[in-house]
Amino acid sequence: MVSMLGRMLRMFGLLVAASASMPAMSSPPAAPCRFEAPADLDAAPARWLGGCRHGAADGLGIVRAGTAEPYAFFAGRMQEGRPAEGLLMLHEGGLMVAVRFDAALRVVSSDGLRPNEDDRVFAQARAAALETAARLRQEGNQASAAYYAALAQRITESRPE
């Protein structure tokens, strides 16, 4: 009994010493960023990789959906946690160009009469992938940064002529 108590006290001492040598957290973990994924995205779960303002996804970024390759993506702009415009790269391989989203978060496509709309969406999608890559590189995640830089190249190459 005494030896067991002694071992427990030594373990407690080791735990205290180990915790004292651990660096203190400089700030609390970031709060989750609320967002709604486009309804047409054909995989789940979805994760937002982009900026957050007032607790909601905002600005350029990527929604990655799925649990493994091949993922589905929304690359574009979010506004107050909702997709505003962007490119959906579907799990099954298709593309959807969203010049905007309706109230149910379904893609609203260009009518084809204004080709500059599609050009803008592809440019924003590419910029979103490059911005995500830069952010990940800055955080020290080189492999993921390279992945999203390659996604930007895929977006460029997938643009119909």
Q: 133, 149 in Cβ contact below 8 A?
A: yes
Q: Considering the entire predicted model, what is its pTM?
A: 0.78
Using one digit for the tens of pLDDT, what is the confidence trace for 16-72? 333 333 333 333 445 689 999 999 998 899 999 999 999 999 999 999 999 999 999
Q: Which amino acid is at 17?
A: A
Query: Taking Cα atoms as reference points, which of 50, 45, 52 lies closest to residue 124?
Result: 50
Four-point Cα dihedral 117, 124, 50, 132, nearest 10: 160
Confidence band, pLDDT 50/70/90 cuts, at residue 11: very low
Q: Which position has the higher pLDDT, 25 or 132?
A: 132
Using one digit for the tens of pLDDT, what is the confidence trace for 106-124? 999 988 778 899 999 999 9
Residue 79 pairs in a beta bridge with 82
Q: How far apart are CA 43 and CA 31, in angstroms?
A: 24
> Using the 8-state DSSP alphabet, how is residue 34 labeled?
B
Query: Taking Cα atoms as reference points, which of 70, 71, 124 lies closest to residue 97?
Result: 124
Residue 96 pairs in a beta bridge with 88
